[in-house]
Structure 1
């Protein structure tokens, strides 16, 4: 599995690399959306941001380039809505876990949340295909 242990997540941040976590799908008005949280080193701090983008239901792994559904993010594509920051790596992770639905055991390296999204799309499609097959076999 691609998840980081807490120590590896802290280590990635200390080395200047971001971490992130795919949160899944949501609805913004009538538009299907997906969300993920990122923690990025920035100016001696660790910035916690929430990203909300349109769900293209496609195997697209470049999440920051998807259409943002958050007006705050529209001016700075891919940066997300800043939720807070901390000078300490562990505190930044704890802050993200307090402010969002992130889980302590599901952090991944920067740019891997896109892989998580692609897995999500494949799983969703497989479930839909299985349901259609069951419906057809009942007919």
Structure 2
């Protein structure tokens, strides 16, 4: 079982384990890219969005090693887009802000397998191998305007 049911995703977060989700291709950059999100338990629960350069191939598909499309030298890779005390609220926030699907969260590391499948399928622009349609990209609203910076 690759995907975590909602209760398993919430349970992993409450046990201090991060979860991730591959969101498909990233557009709007000069270079080809991919997007994925991670929810980290860090005192509160934090949602990070990653936009990485799509330079993977059949022997290299570690998303954590891909160069950032947004990184400036003083920044850390990944953009914090929401923070809250409740992991269930953050799952819904991820759905609303970046189009994350409730039933497509995976344990950390398995997002690499999703990226490998994406590469193996020839980098499909609109849907993954299982027919899941990539979420529509939108620039997430600011944390302050969403009331998610607590």
TM range (shorter): 0.7 to 0.9
Equivalence for 2:98: 100
Equivalent residues of 1:72, 1:81 under 8 A apart: no
C-alpha deviation, 1:57, in angstroms: 3.7
Equivalent residues of 1:24, 1:35 under 8 A apart: yes
| 1:89 equivalent in alignment to 2:71 | no
Superposed CA RMSD: 1.9
Structure 2 runs not aligned, ≥5 long: 124-150
Equivalent residues of 1:20, 1:113 under 8 A apart: yes
Equivalence for 1:54: 53
C-alpha deviation, 1:74, in angstroms: 6.2
Partner secondary structure for residue 17 of structure 2: coil
Aligned length: 123
Partner deviation per Cα, 1:55-111 (whole Å, 9 max, x = no partner): 01413332122100013686223xx00101111111111111111021111010112
Q: Which has the higher strand share?
A: 1
1:98 & 1:46 partners in 2: Cα distance? 16
Q: Which has the higher helix share?
A: 1
2:61 & 2:91 partners in 1: Cα distance? 23
Structure 1 runs not aligned, ≥5 long: 126-139
Q: Taking structure 2 as the reference length, what is the TM-score of the superposition?
A: 0.75
Equivalence for 1:128: none
Which protein is bigger by CA-based radius of gyration?
Answer: 1
